[in-house]
Homo-oligomer: A and B are copies of this chain.
Amino acid sequence: MIFNSEVRIKILALLYGMEYCEFSYLREKLKVSPGNLEHHLKILEKEGLVIIKKAITKKGIRTVVKITEKGKEEFKKFLGEILNLTNLEREDK
């Protein structure tokens, strides 16, 4: 169910590399509306794949999103399956 959404896949991909980032950065990179992003982040949080918290930054209080170990594992497994499928060979090739 988690990977039945291009936006959720891209959120996990970005966080997989960065560990954590600000809500606004996710919005900018993924070009999604705040409401849409919030909707998908809530689903990921409910599944234990990300943590959403308020943080004090140089620019004031910001919403920060961090990927969990479970989130990294699930994304790594998903991406691995996709890459493995692209490598399958037909017997008659």
Q: Which residues of A contact B (CB under 8 A)?
A: 3-6, 9-10, 13-14, 16-21, 29, 78-79, 81-83, 85-90, 93
Contact = CB atoms under 8 A, between A and B. Distances in A.
Contact of A86 (B14, B20, B21, B81): B14
A69 B20 CA distance: 37
21 contacts: A3-B6, A3-B9, A4-B4, A4-B5, A4-B6, A6-B78, A10-B85, A13-B86, A16-B85, A17-B85, A17-B86, A17-B87, A17-B88, A17-B89, A18-B88, A18-B93, A19-B90, A20-B90, A29-B85, A29-B88, A79-B82
A6 B9 CA distance: 10
